[in-house]
C-alpha cells in the first residue's frame, strides 16, 4: 500500500521537474486568496469599528426629526412619551458654529437636557466638573478637543468662558449669534465618532436654544427606549404616529445598515474573486494534463509494478492540490501584508470642512476567513486535477511503456 509520504515525495518531484510551469500556475492560484484575504480583512475590521461606534452612541436611542415644512411640537412630544416601552423623550436643537473669531475652528452646539443626554448615550463620560441642569442657562459641557489643543495642552477648564459664534435658523432666515458659555464640565476623550463628534461639541441645556440662540423650532426629539430589542417596534410606532411629517432613525438601525453594506461589499469581492479561482482551475487543469502526457511512460511503469488506478488518481490529485495549497499560502500571506498596508492609510469619512473622521484600525482575520480561503484553494486543486487524474488512471500499462 502506498504511503502518504510517498505521495508527497512523488508530487513534489513532479512539480520540481517543471519549475517554471508550476510556478506560473501557483501564481495564478494565489490571486484569488490574496484578494479575498486582503479585502475581507480590511472591510470586516472597518465594519466592526463603525458598528461599535454607532451602537456606543446609544443602542436604546431613537431620533425623530421633522420633515421639510413640518414643526415638531409639545403635542408630538407628549404622544411619543405615551408609547409603550418609551422611558422618556426630550427635544433638542443643534447647529454649527466656530470658536472665538476663528471660522476654521468649527464645533457643533447641541441644546438638550444634559441628564437625558448622559443617560441615553452611556459612552459619554464627564472628565471633570459637573453637568449643568436645565435651569443653568449659559452653562455647558465641552468636548475634550475643545478643552485641550492638539498637543494636549489645556485651553479651557471648568469655570472658564467659551466664546462661540453659531448660525441660527428662524423665520427671518439664518443669522449669526455670539454666545458666551461658562464651562460647567469637560467630557472625556471619546475618539473618532461617527454621526456625532462629542470631542468637538458643546452641550448646553435645552432652554439655551430659545433664550441664548433665539431658536424657535426644534431640530428633533430624542427618544429613550427601555431595551434595544424594543427599538425597532418603537420606531415603527412613531412612524405610524407622525406619518410623513417626521423621519425616524435609530443607531441600532444605522448599525444594521452599516453591517449590510459591508456584507454586500464582501459578497461582491467574493464574486469577483471567483473569476480568479475559475482561471486558477483552468490553469491547474492545463498544467496537470500536460504533466500527465509528459509522464505517460512513468505512469505505465508505476502501474506495471503494482500501482492501482485509485493510487494513480490520488497521486495526480494530490499534485494539483499541492500546487493549490502553495498558491493559497502565498496568497494569504500577501493578503495579510496588503491588508495592513491598506489599513495603515486609514478610512476617511468627511462631510465638508467640519465633519472629518479618519478611521485607523488593524485588519481582522478570523479562523473562518482563513479556513474558508484554504478550503477554496483545495477545491480549486481538486477540480483542476480531477480530469487529468481520470485520464492518467485509464492509461493502459502496455501502451504507456511503449510511449516515447
Residue 172 has pLDDT above 60, yes or no: yes
The three-point CA angle 227-228-233 to 5° equals: 90
Question: What is the rounded average pLDDT of the residues 388-398?
Answer: 74
Grid cell for residue 149:
489643543
Q: What is the pLDDT of residue 352?
A: 44
pLDDT tens, residue by residue, 356-383: 556 677 888 888 889 988 998 888 888 8
pLDDT tens, residue by residue, 324-364: 888 889 999 998 998 888 887 766 655 444 445 566 778 88
Cβ 252 vs Cβ 231: under 8 Å: yes
Share of the chain above pLDDT 90, in %: 15
Whole-angstrom Cα distance, residue 91 to residue 65?
10
Whole-angstrom Cα distance, residue 43 to residue 339?
9
Lowest mean pLDDT among 73-77, 159-163, 291-295: 291-295
Residue 287 has pLDDT above 50, yes or no: yes
- Higher confidence at residue 93 or residue 264? 93
Q: What is the pLDDT of residue 138?
A: 87
Q: What is the pLDDT of residue 255?
A: 65
Residue 268 has pLDDT above 70, yes or no: yes
Q: What is the pLDDT of residue 5?
A: 64
Q: If you average pLDDT over every residue of the chain, what do you get?
A: 80
Statement: the pTM of the whole predicted model exceeds 0.85:
no
Residue 274 has pLDDT above 60, yes or no: yes
Q: How confident is the model at residue 2 (pLDDT cuts 50, 70, 90)?
A: low
pLDDT tens, residue by residue, 99-124: 875 556 788 889 998 888 888 777 78
Question: What is the rounded average pLDDT of the residues 54-69?
Answer: 78
The residue to which cell 472628565 is assigned = 127
Question: What is the rounded average pLDDT of the residues 221-248?
Answer: 88
Amino acid at each position: 500500500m502506498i504511503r502518504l509520504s510517498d505521495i508527497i515525495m512523488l508530487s513534489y518531484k513532479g512539480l520540481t521537474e517543471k519549475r517554471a510551469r508550476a510556478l506560473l500556475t501557483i501564481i495564478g492560484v494565489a490571486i484569488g486568496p490574496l484578494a479575498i484575504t486582503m479585502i475581507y480583512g480590511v472591510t470586516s475590521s472597518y465594519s466592526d469599528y463603525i458598528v461599535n461606534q454607532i451602537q456606543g452612541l446609544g443602542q436604546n436611542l431613537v431620533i425623530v426629526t421633522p420633515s421639510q415644512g413640518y414643526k415638531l411640537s409639545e403635542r408630538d412630544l407628549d404622544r411619543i412619551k405615551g408609547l409603550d416601552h418609551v422611558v422618556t423623550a426630550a427635544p433638542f436643537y443643534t447647529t454649527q458654529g466656530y470658536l472665538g473669531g476663528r471660522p476654521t475652528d468649527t464645533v457643533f452646539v447641541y441644546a438638550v437636557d444634559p441628564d437625558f443626554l448622559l443617560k441615553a448615550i452611556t459612552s459619554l463620560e464627564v472628565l471633570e466638573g459637573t453637568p449643568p441642569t436645565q435651569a443653568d442657562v449659559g452653562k455647558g459641557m465641552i468636548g475634550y478637543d475643545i478643552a485641550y489643543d492638539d498637543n494636549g495642552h489645556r485651553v479651557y477648564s471648568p469655570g472658564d468662558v467659551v466664546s462661540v459664534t453659531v448660525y441660527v435658523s428662524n423665520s427671518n432666515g439664518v443669522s449669526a449669534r455670539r454666545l458666551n458659555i461658562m464651562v460647567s464640565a469637560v467630557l472625556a476623550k471619546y475618539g473618532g465618532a461617527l454621526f456625532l463628534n462629542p470631542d468637538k461639541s458643546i452641550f448646553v441645556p435645552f432652554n439655551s436654544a430659545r433664550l441664548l440662540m433665539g431658536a424657535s423650532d426644534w431640530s428633533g426629539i430624542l427618544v429613550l427606549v427601555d431595551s434595544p430589542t424594543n427599538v425597532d417596534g418603537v420606531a415603527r410606532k412613531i412612524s405610524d404616529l407622525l406619518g410623513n411629517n417626521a423621519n425616524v432613525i435609530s443607531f441600532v438601525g444605522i448599525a444594521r445598515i452599516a453591517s449590510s453594506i459591508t456584507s454586500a461589499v464582501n459578497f461582491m469581492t467574493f464574486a469577483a474573486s471567483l473569476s480568479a479561482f475559475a482561471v486558477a482551475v483552468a490553469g491547474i487543469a492545463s498544467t496537470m494534463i500536460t504533466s500527465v502526457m509528459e509522464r505517460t511512460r512513468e505512469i505505465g511503469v508505476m502501474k506495471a509494478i503494482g500501482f492501482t488506478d485509485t493510487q494513480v488518481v490520488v497521486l495526480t490529485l494530490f499534485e494539483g492540490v499541492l500546487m493549490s495549497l502553495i498558491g493559497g499560502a502565498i496568497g494569504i500571506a500577501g493578503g495579510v501584508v496588503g491588508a495592513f498596508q491598506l489599513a495603515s492609510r486609514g478610512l476617511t469619512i468627511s462631510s465638508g470642512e467640519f465633519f472629518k473622521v479618519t478611521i485607523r484600525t488593524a485588519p481582522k482575520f478570523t479562523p473562518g476567513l482563513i479556513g474558508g480561503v484554504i478550503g477554496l484553494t483545495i477545491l480549486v486543486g481538486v477540480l483542476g486535477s480531477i480530469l487529468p487524474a481520470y485520464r492518467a488512471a485509464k492509461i493502459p500499462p502496455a501502451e504507456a511503456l511503449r510511449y516515447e
